[in-house]
Chain A
Amino acid sequence: MAEYVIIGNGVAAAGCVEGIRSTDTRGNITVISAEKYPVYSRPLISYYLEGKTTLEKMNYRPEDFYEKNNVKLVYARAESIDRENGKVVLDNGKKLCYDKLCLCTGSSPFVPPFEGLDMVKKQFTFMTVDDTLALEKALTKKSRVLIVGAGLIGLKCAEGIAERVGEITVCDLADRVLSSIYDNDCAAVMQEHLEKHGIRFMLGDTAVKFDKNKACMKSGAEVGFDILVLAVGVRAGTGLAKDAGIEVNRGIVIGKDMSTSVPGIYAAGDCSEGYDSSIGANRVLAILPNAYMQGHAAGVNMAGGQADIKDAIPMNSIGFFGLHSVTAGSYPADAEIVEEKHPGSIRRLYIKDDRLAGYIIIGDVSRAGVYTSLVREKTPLGELDADRLRVAPSLALFGAAVRKKKLGGAV
């Protein structure tokens, strides 16, 4: 019987378990979890602070997930991979044999070496349940919070604690919010909305050093705070892989079948650098859907099945204070931009080479998945109703024959 070992216990690992079990119901699966929790969904931590979910509901899978899938869950940290002997060495000294190994080591917050940071008492990162519980303990109705980083993590954190603190300032070196998923115009719409809800921004500016409860900014300004949240960015968890001689770039390099440079070893999720079809090259796509799908595909392949992911694209659905937003694909500089803008909402389609390269919607996100499918499937727009495409996403973009397939048969 095959021995499967999965390092990590996040969403990619859960996908990997389900992928293995879809193909091999008998082999032994061991999951090594560094956090002392069953698999939970990290993106939910801000919803937890907001009161929209509970620790219990944050569990990604039902209580009996491990039991049902016949998985041995080991709470430990993997120290190294002994490739020659096919073993994973744990921090408790134990060794686990594997036939097939999957690295689902995720990512960790990147904390730059700020001067004076060690003197800041209430400083937090915002990634795990433990981070969240620690931050929660520190929150008071009067807290002044400084969040360094106006990306997804920083802003979701801001939303999560907005009702529980006195004031929030967000700074970022980038000149716009959510610079990884928005262009300038869209970022401005969301920034305005966030400002309406009391978030103060200092953009194009960032903390350079800290002096206890004070941040000195690059611009020379000074910001006083009680709580500091560091959300500058994340780094893929590649250490184990690197040490084991597996090819690593920004993430662990994997093929479309999730295999690493070393036979028998796979990687999936935020730690990996897989194929992004929107740019036609490998890159770290640290988003939850991708983690699950990669994990699942890795699992299938580990168990001897065949699963490739050729159509992964960056995509995000995110909302702040009731304003929803979805994005997908890439925004090439030379693309034609189709824009519809109203106060408080915007939609931008990036069209290039008769394809929808990417899009951003803030506001009415109804049926946006139809646009996402055009990006993912690289559908030639010439085959669609071009006028309608510009107005709203719907199956009316397609001809009757395509629609008949979509709505008239099992899919």
Chain B
Amino acid sequence: MRNEFIYPEFEVVRNENRCIQCRVCERQCANEVHRFDPELGLMLSDETKCVNCQRCVSLCPTHALKIVKSDCRLRENANWSDETIKEIYKQANSGGVLLSSMGNPKPLPVYWDRILINASQVTNPPIDPLREPMETRVFLGKKPDKVRRDAQGNLITETAPQLELSMPVMFSAMSYGSISYNAHASLARAATELGICYNTGEGGLHEDFYVYGPNTVVQVASGRFGVHKNYLEAAAAVEIKMGQGAKPGIGGHLPGTKIVGDISRTRMIPEGSDAISPAPHHDIYSIEDLRQLVYSLKEATEYKKPIIVKVAAVHNIAAIASGIARSGADIIAIDGFRGGTGAAPTRIRDNVGIPIELALASVDQRLRDEGIRNNISLVVGGSVRSAADVVKAVALGADAVYVATAALLALGCHLCRTCHSGKCNWGIATQRPDLVKRLNPDIGSQRLVNLMDAWRHEIKELMGGMGINSIESLRGNRLMLRGVGLTDKELEILGISHAGE
């Protein structure tokens, strides 16, 4: 048998009564699904190419299109699911490792959805955020353990460098290369307007974006791409990337075909060469080694900038975090197993790592138990989807959260999860100029600002309901949370009571 034909996953349903043959779908589909046949006088579809990105659906002026899941199914089998079998066909066809993009889509538990938030009734009344001031500002960095005074008895107010955020949210690392120039421009401009930070990822910082430095976290990862003195100095904080939630334990690979022009220059590698980020940092095999890099970066930035260490949420995350807290780092960022990616081996993405909710609770608890919680701020990411998730994360002990998928959705991403094809129809995960221009940063940055403004309002509403007027008072306040449908063990790790208790 030659290559197995795999029936398309999606079907394009065109309402011929509504289609005016304007061919917008055809022009807008980088996958070349649609085409006009002049002889038939009809729009035709090649559904084998459809990734269900919904670009055509969104732009069709007469709403004549929808994309539906194909109902062509193999015989039902609870053990051998359709997807599993087709993956086997694909591998038998190609001999390749399966690649996927964005976060783990498997039906594993989402603990956010099993945690409920408290509200005040009668006593300790709620606060109306429309009438009373509410503080969502946070400072990330080491906090002093106690009040310190000099020999004359004057208060010592100097603290370790802090990252000030107007709300406890940052845009997490996405490299220039994995996402487009315009996506970066949107994130940078929005972060600046919002008074938060975005993160360069491992792709370096394009020269055009140095102006957004005060709202930029720059990343130093295992490939060290794009790292130089000005890069470090431009930033508000420096992040050492040890791991990523979507693909813990493995490195990254941006193919040489994407290393062109500005990307090559920004990454400081020759055009056409593959950008391979090794799985480990080749100079880090211990917390002591990590400490050396932390202090190298502190030296390089004259101790003016907080150093973040980012790790994936894995099994012994609490111990790892404890080590990081003792490495001299100012902030630890933990990325859960639902975190997104531009490309990862499917098996890694879907089977490696642990849920961020559990990792966060256990890390916060461990650091408290060891009396070093003030040594370090805690940022968590890996599918923080809403203001409610933010509030729950903070109540579980986070100082702030990282969001990326939500930000991409605001920029137009429809989660078709084919970033690795490089043909993102929304101009985000692509470097093709005709596609990149589809994301106008004027629109993109405004949508990000809108989203975060909305979240800020919602955070204030939720806080007000709890009778809390400062986000700092919510941090680690697990009494504000209750679990539903969770086992005793899960509740124990989360450090929360069951609803009704």
Q: Do chains A and B touch in the complex (CB under 8 A)?
A: no
